[in-house]
Amino acid sequence: MLKRKSISVVFVFFLLANLFFSFSLANPAQAAEVKVMVDGKTLSMDVKPVIEKGRTLVPLRTIFEALDVEVGWDEKTRTVTAVKGSTQIKLVIGNTTALKSGKSVKLDVPAKILNGRTLVPVRFVSEALGAKVDWNGSAHTVTITRSGGSSVGFKLSKEIKLEDVDPGPITKTTMLARGEVKFSPNSKYAVVGSEKGYIRVIDMASDEVIFTKDMGIGSITALAFSVDGKRLYVGEQSPDGYLYCFEIPSGKELWKFRTADELGNELKTESYPAVKRILEDNKGRLYFVAYRSYKHSSTNYDYWTRVYSLNGSTGKVNWKFPEKELMDVGSYWIDITPDGKSVAFSTGTFGNKTYKYPSGAIYFLNGDNGEKKWSYTFKALPQMAARFWYSPSLSPNGKYLSALMSDGRGFLFNDKGKVLWTKAISTPRKVSGVWIYGSANDTYIHNNQVIFSIGNTYTCVSGQVAPAEHPNSCCVFAYDLKGNILWKWKSDGYPRRPGISADGRYVAIPVMNNVNTHDLEAHGVCVIDNNIEGGIDKKVFYVYKSKTKGPMVSADISPNGKYIVALETVVRLSDGASVAGEYKVHILKR
Amino acid sequence: MKTKRVWTGLLTFLFFISFILAGLIIPAESPAQAGDPVAVKIQIPFSKGGKQGLAIAGSEISAYIMVENQTDEEQNVDMEISLPKEFKPVDLSSSWKMTQTGDSYILTTACTLAVKYENWFDLIPVRISSDIPAGEYRVAAKVKSNGKEQKLELPVKLATRREAADFVKISEILLPTDEYGKVDPRYQRNTLALKSSSSSNYYKRVITGAGTESTAAEHPIAHMAVKVANKNAEAASLLITAQLLNPETKKPVAGFRPPNAENLSKDEQDRIYAMVKVPGKSETLIPLPIYGEEGTIPTGKFTLRTTVKLLGSDAVLQVKDLPVQVVARDFLPAVITVSAFVLIAGTFGIINFRKQAFFDRFKTRWLIVIALFGTATFVTVNIPGTILWDLSHAIFGPFSFLITGLFNEIILYMLLVSLVLLIPQPGTVLLATVMRMLLSGVILGHFSPVTIMFYSTSGILLEVMLFIFGITRSSWVSRKLSQAGRADIWPAALVISLGCGLADAASAFVNFQITIFLYRLYYADWYILTYVLIDGFLYTAIGTVFGVLLGRQLKKVAID
């Protein structure tokens, strides 16, 4: 009997002991090391995080520095105070009641001091400051992501309402009121060119418009600052087709160049010259392409085009290409290397007429004298004409050139004109006898990455909207120089040409309307931080959405990475009556 | 004993509690609940959402398969698609390997997706047998990526063509409309009015401060709207095609094509397309832009053939033909109306300015005769015409002019020409016409700016022609008319007939343009031509000959 009792007791004892030890070991995080990551970066801590009652505590200074927070310590009251923007949190060592912006919050575990370091509960602190916290039990990792909201990253500083414009249909991007924004190289100013021909220069210190200029009947087609930030170049489409140079910040007109002198104009047919894409090299030389077109019919267009290099200070012509005649094809884009030694531009036409100069060609010129080094003519896919929109792009050293054809094929060339590789990114597919494609728009070479940006889905004929999206529409692709894909970002809207900070770290992508889904939530500005490790979802660390939900037609980030300016437009929704958005400029700062 | 029972009970209690708690508290290392490494999408046909595909017997559909990497790691993906034997893949791309078992076609392929969101996709053309029973068929997919396997099955409903045609119906075609599908009241229904660009856009933009715009994105020349009823619960993606056909030959009319259509094959051109998504259980109005070459599309009567296909399938669900009229916007009426106004204002302005000199050329008795003839034309032309107009119009419709012209033209010109033979002075006919106009206005109430214009242009043009052709001036015509014997007057009579015929034809044409411009009416070109030739020229010429004969007779008895 006693033996049986003893056995029972021992048995129960072992069961309970097993329970106890199992329970103790049940939290694997205590045995294994806990890792803490903020925006993809693992934090290095001199005191290891601990877990108490299922809550992870981390060293105060490490976490607050990672979250970019001001920290204060009151020795008398043993109180930690952290401030970020308008949010303030207070933790008292050993007290399970914390304050968040004056309101009491109950904690599961209080802050404590361990080995001379103050440890704070990481979930409460991070979430109170607007970050997202995930716990991966199997990997013993706390992942903190700072994204969205205005309390971290960039904050809306000011909105500047522009003139009234007519809303365009949400099913079209080309019929929306457009414009462009650009920062000066010294980050001091931003210029906004609006649909109705107004130029506004904003002082980023005060967020005030320091001068406004009405460009008259011209539509603004190109904006650029000089490298020293002292001059502003404005290109227009008008009967004169001027390129203006204004002094900053006075707004005084220094000179102007009339492209209609060579390209001509026809008032009654509304055929006017346009200045496209102005660039200045670091020697103060200006480069731009100007063209004029006239449509006889959908298959018959006339063009008059030339590439110019001017002296940025005086407006005097350095060279023209071609030297002796105009090209009879259109051109909408040009790029240069910062030293101006290499210039590249593309050609494109509508219609199927035979032209003297090839359509769908890339030209590579000597930037010093405008001589052609090489050219390459693309053969179009059968379904579409060969043309370029915002291509080509040169690498800063001039060794590489990327091009994205409107038919969805991306190319990388070397500086000798050899095609290094080709990618079929959003090439047309036939559905019920009709070809659909993802509109291939921008390419740029940035940080040794070749980026291609694809817009909305359209039918190859008439450019109508298709009810189903091409699988690669509204996406941004990045390849290395060898053609290996590095990342792909999917947007819900149409990603436009981004602004990139001078160090290449931040990329601000304005997102316009998705003509297929009409999703207003897709509109905004997405900011990528290339310093964040991990996949593209982690790199998109900030998304700005306007309260009025209009598409963002243009955005730029200051070279110092501290400011973003974005231009929102108005759009008429598919019911034909409702309108979303306002035509205004958003100034964001961090 | 009691203690023993208590102790046993306690141990038992602890024993069971331990087991229970052990089961609850001892944690198992739960396996990582990772999501699928690749997302797989199958749509039959392409763009069809929902949990069921749709195929139509005897048609070719595009089966869409897509895999997308959902992780930051590279995924090596092996795919196997199983299609029932009734769904035969055709024109497979070289990336697929196909084998056939008794019941199905097995397609296999592999790909590597290096980064998150990288995808691989294909549209597989599949021919559906026409003689298979309707019902549900299954398409299966097995996707292996980095050792993990996913299995998917898509039930595909097979419908006969008749059943499919019931899915969606074109309930109405509206033409012309605005870009939102609202009927444009400025034009007759089923009229395609071709717009032409004009430089007025430039000035409009200058005034509104909208800036300039040169060749912008392609703009449609007109719009139509198609009302489509979708009886299904799910949304339907459709391809709507419209073609202008010659009503006799049923061949497509050239020029009715969207921009960049030159890139299409020949049989794909000369039609416009719209891909639309129609919500389920609804009737949706779908506005369609109409593109075309304005210089190439002819005006006239055509058949507008609208076809509805399920997107991703070549099966035609419905065809609807609508007779349409293609008209071109014409600035000629405006120009002619303004010119007529200027002519009338100028003529009466000059007469008013020089009225003394004008009336001094007429003897008093001539003015009385002119007034009498004016009255006579009113009584013999206007009054019967007014009384009989509605009756003849009711009986003969738009061709009533063939009957009423006998009064309006033959009798009128018989009287006017006989008058001008009696008083061959410039201004005679004009004064008689004014007399007739005044009486018509006072007695019948036919007095409006438009009727003033009608009478005035008629009178002025006739005066001009009579002068040019030498009737109201010294010429061989006037001499022949006044002096020659009956047999010899015919050449002159023919000349005056020609002159009057041309004058009335011209004034008829001008009157049509005035009506078109001011009243926004439309007349077919052939109708105007017929009226001008018969009513304007022929009847006038006949009346003129009678007028010459009458005039010569009256001259014999005229005073002075």
- CATH number of domain containing B235: 2.60.40.770
The two tokens of residue B467 are: 């002068």
A169 to chain B: which residues are within 8 Å by CB? 179
Q: Are residues B125 and B102 part of one domain? A: yes
Burial group, residue B452, by CB count within 10 angstroms (0-12, 13-18, 19+): middle
Domain boundary among B328, B356, B390: B328
| CB within 8 Å: A536 and B115 | yes
What mean pLDDT is reported for chain B?
Answer: 82
Tokens of A189: 């100013």
What tokens does A326 get?
């105009």
Amino acid identity of residue B166, one-letter, is D
Same domain assignment for residues B343 and B313: no
CB atoms within 10 A of CB B488: 11
Domain hosting B142: range is 38-159
Q: Whole-angstrom Cα distance, residue B388 to residue B393? A: 8
pLDDT tens digits, one per residue of B134-164: 889 999 999 999 888 999 899 998 888 778 7
Question: B351: part of which helix (H) or strand (E)?
Answer: helix B332-353
Q: What pLDDT, on the 0 to 100 scale, is given for residue B517? A: 86
Half-sphere exposure of residue A343, counting CA atoms within 13 Å on the CB side? 27
Contact B212 A385 (CB under 8 A): no
- Of A513, A469, A493, residue with least CA distance to A167: A513
The residues, ordered by sequence, that sit 6+ positions from B276 with a Cβ below 8 Å of its Cβ are A467, B228, B237, B238, B240, B284, B286
Name the minimum distance, in Å, from the CA of A419 to any CA of chain B: 23
The vertex-B371 CA angle with B368 and B377, nearest 5°, equals: 140
Closest-CA residue to A389 (of A413, A408, A375, A363): A408
Q: Please give the angle made by the CA atoms of A447, A223 and A236, to the nearest 5 degrees.
A: 140
> Most confidently modeled of A97-101, A139-143, B214-218, B362-366?
B362-366
The mean-pLDDT minimum among A82-96, B97-111, B224-238 falls in A82-96
Q: A380-384, B392-396, B469-473 — which is least confidently predicted?
A: A380-384
Mean pLDDT of B212-226: 62
Of B299, B328, B357, which closes a domain? B328
Same domain for B438 and B356?
Answer: yes
pLDDT at B558: 67
Among B115, B289, B311, the residue with its CB nearest the CB of A485 is B115
B559, pLDDT greater than 90: no
For residues B113 and B214, membership in a common domain is answered with: no
Residue A3 backbone phi and psi in degrees, to 5: -65, -45
Q: How far apart are CA B429 and CA B435, in angstroms?
A: 10
Helix (H, G, I), strand (E, B) or coil at A296: strand
Mark whether B297 and B375 lie in a shared domain.
no
Please give the pLDDT value at position B9: 64
Encoded tokens for B400: 């009533």
* Spatial distance between the Cα atoms of A399 and A388, rounded to a whole number of angstroms: 21
Q: Is the peptide bond before B247 cis (omega within 30 degrees of 0)?
A: no
* Cα–Cα dist A405/B408, whole Å: 69
Q: Distance, in angstroms, between A321 CA and closest chain B CA?
A: 23
Residue B20 lies in a domain: no
- Count the neighbouring beta carbons within 10 Å of the beta carbon of residue B559: 7
Cα-Cα-Cα-Cα torsion A157, A160, A161, A163, nearest 10 degrees, comes to -160
Dihedral of CA A492/A495/A499/A505: which sign? positive
Is B5 inside any structural domain? no
At residue B463, φ and ψ (nearest 5 deg) are -60, -45
Q: Give the C-alpha distances (Å, rounded to integers) separating B551 from A127, A474, B414.
A: 110, 85, 8
Is B18 inside any structural domain? no
**B513 with B337: CB under 8 angstroms?**
yes
Q: Do B343 and B410 lie in a common domain?
A: yes
- Are B305 and B349 contained in the same domain? no
Residue B127 belongs to domain with CATH number:
2.60.40.1510
List, as ranges, residues 308-347 from B with C-beta within 8 Å of A.
309-314
Query: For residue A479, what are its two tokens?
Result: 């390849």
Which of the residue ranges A196-210, B11-25, B524-538 would you say has the lowest mean pLDDT? B11-25
ipTM of the complex: 0.72
- Residue in the structure block whose two tokens are 């206005």: B441
Is this structure's pTM higher than 0.90? no
Position B489 in a domain: yes
Same domain, B400 and B423: yes
Q: For residues B106 and B397, give the distance between their C-alpha atoms in angstroms, rounded to a whole number.
A: 70
Classify residue B28: in a domain, yes or no: no
Contacts of B273 in chain A (CB under 8 A): 434, 459, 461-462, 464
Burial B496-526 (b: 16+ CB within 10 A, else e): bbbbbbbbbbbbbbbbbbbbbbeeeeeeeee
Residue B237: its chain A contacts at CB < 8 A? 467-468
Question: Which two tokens mark A44?
Answer: 């290095």
Rounded CA-CA distance A483/A148 in Å is 32
DSSP class of residue A185 equals: T
For chain A, residues with pLDDT lower than 70 are 1-32, 39-41, 68, 70, 84-87, 130, 137-139, 146-152, 297-299, 351-352, 461-463
Residue B11 inside a domain? The answer is: no
Domain annotation covers residue B318: yes
A447: left (phi over 0), alpha (psi -120 to 50) or beta: left
Domain count of the fold of chain B: 3
> E strands of A326-474, at which residues?
334-336, 342-346, 361-366, 372-377, 393-394, 400-404, 409-414, 419-424, 429-431, 434-446, 449-459
Substitution target in A140, A174, A431 with the highest count of B β-carbons within 10 Å is A431
Q: Select from A464, A487, A518 the residue whose CB has the most chain B CBs within 10 Å, as the one to mutate to test that interface.
A: A464
pLDDT at A182: 95
pLDDT over 90 at B447, yes or no: no
**Phi and psi torsions of A57, nearest 5°:** -115, 135
Does residue A552 contact residue A546 with C-beta atoms inside 8 Å? yes
Closest residue in B to A173 (Cα) is B217
> Where does a domain end: B159, B187, B217?
B159
**Within an 8 Å CB–CB cutoff, is residue B239 touching chain A?**
yes
CB contact under 8 A, A238 and B212: yes
Q: How many residues does chain A have?
A: 590
Check: CB of residue B386 under 8 Å from CB of residue B444: yes
3-state secondary structure A253-276: EEEEEECHHHHCCECCCCECCEEE
* B504 against B186, higher pLDDT: B504
**Rg of chain B on CA atoms, in Å:** 42
Q: Which candidate, A75, A92, A93, A73, places its Cα nearest to that of A83?
A: A73
**Minimal CA separation from B278 to chain A, in Å:** 9
pLDDT tens readout for residues B234-292: 788 888 888 888 888 888 887 666 665 655 556 666 777 778 888 888 888 888 777 76
Domains and their CATH numbers in chain A: 28-145 (3.30.457.10), 150-177+492-590 (no CATH), 180-491 (2.130.10.10)
Are B478 and B498 found together in one domain? yes
pLDDT band at B210 (very low <50, low <70, confident <90, very high): low
CA–CA distances in Å: residue B555 to residues B159, B432, B551: 89, 18, 6
Lowest mean pLDDT across B39-53, B55-69, B437-451: B39-53
The terminus-to-terminus CA distance of chain A in angstroms comes to 79
CA distance B331 to A47: 87
Facing B119 at nearest CB: one of A197, A237, A471: A471
- Count of residues in chain B: 560
The answer on B253 and B287 residing in a single domain is: yes
DSSP B354-406: THHHHHHTS-HHHHHHHHHHHHHHIIIIIHHHHHHHHHHHHHHGGGGHHHHHI
Q: Nearest C-alpha of chain B: how many angstroms from A296?
A: 10
Task: Tell if the CB–CB gap between B25 and A26 is shorter than 8 Å.
Answer: yes
B352 in reach of chain A (CB within 8 A)? no
Same domain as B227, residue B280: yes
Q: Residues near B192 by Cβ (< 8 Å), separated by ≥ 6?
A: B175, B176, B222, B224, B244, B290, B304, B324, B325, B326, B327
For the stretch B47-68, pLDDT in tens is 877 778 888 888 898 899 999 9
Higher pLDDT, B129 or A183: A183
Taking an 8 Å cut-off on Cβ atoms, the answer to whether A488 and B32 are in contact is: no
> For residues A348 and A387, what is the distance between their CA atoms, to the nearest angstrom?
4
Of A166, A239, A462, the CB nearest to B260: A462
Please indicate whether, in this complex, the C-beta atoms of A466 and B179 are within 8 angstroms of each other: no
Q: What angle do CA A119, A120, A121 make, to 5 degrees?
A: 130
Position B3 in a domain: no
pLDDT at B187 over 60: yes
Residues B321 and B454 in one domain: no
The partner residue sitting opposite B273, judged by closest CB among A23, A270, A462, is A462
